[in-house]
Structure 1
Amino acid sequence: MSKVVVVYHSGYGHTKKQAEAIANGAKAALIAIDAEGNISEEEWQLLDNAKAIIFGSPTYMGTVSWQFKKFADASSKAWFTQKWKDKVFGGFTNSATMNGDKHSTIHYFITLAMQHSGIWVGTGLMPSNAKNANRDDINFVGSFAGAMMQTPSDASSDEVNSGDLETARLYGQRIMTFVEKN
């Protein structure tokens, strides 16, 4: 059984690539929320038994996709009994523009984790914000709260930025270190 589970929705495959990178870093199991916003009973059990849960969604219109929101609303069953209390949490998102209101999505994840009485872990990564920084650098998007990725609206899922994927992998690795400490 995996100690870390990444639960995510991906509309076009870009966020799936980010989820896979985070899962690689965290040695995590992946749960894809389907197009109708559902996961299986077995997948709910994986989340209940995990030590860490990492949320992921593209940022659509300034927040999570409706499919992720449906999943989050369904997690109220775990909230009611505090099944996820004291779990480690993290989150990641992708949008087409550099800002794209991604922080609204990350803040949504933080609020959801806090409602579940969880412990949030940020990236722990310094931003690439010097004049000599380039788009393939780690944490070029510059987020401390969760992993952020930017993919142009006309890019395929095979064209996601390598620096953003490495940022995601390192973030997953950091979350795993918190799990291993407890």
Structure 2
Amino acid sequence: MRFASVLLSAVLLAGCTGSKNVDDAPSTVGHVDLQRYQGVWYEQARLPMFFQRDCVRSEARYSLLDNGSIGVLNRCETKNGEWKEARGEAEPQQPGSTDRLWVRFDNWFSRLFPEMTKGHYWVLYLDQEYSVALVGSPDREFLWLLSRDIQLDASTRQRLLDEAEKRGYDTSELIWRGEGAEI
């Protein structure tokens, strides 16, 4: 429950971060085949953020739901080896657009204030095999480097870093999978 509350706080902050110049927003992939995108993604790196401050390893499981949205299950392992999880749903920010989603986690606050608790989930880069991806927010405060495999080889890691930097993200503060918790 505490993990879900912390995630809610982050989603609230992410949902409120759209005030910067939209013309300066990073480019996205244009289209995501959600059927191929579903499944398990392992977080390889992220920018520091409050709601993942205790996480040393994280993963996300996405599944298509009957209502057309995407089910989200985020799991996080802490330094103590404890697993925490949060469930939510994602939906396109604009009908028919699959690369810019709103994510909302299921808790009492989001049920009371659904429009206030949406966070940006922009797919910035996705390889043809759907094996690695960059996901971030348009204000560049949030960034995740994701892969289908638990570990990345050096060339794939560098490709993701290059793609993130091309889109204006500061990668010098990335926290890599297995590194200590922050904040």
TM-score, normalised via structure 2 length: 0.33
More strand by share: 2
TM-score, normalised via structure 1 length: 0.33
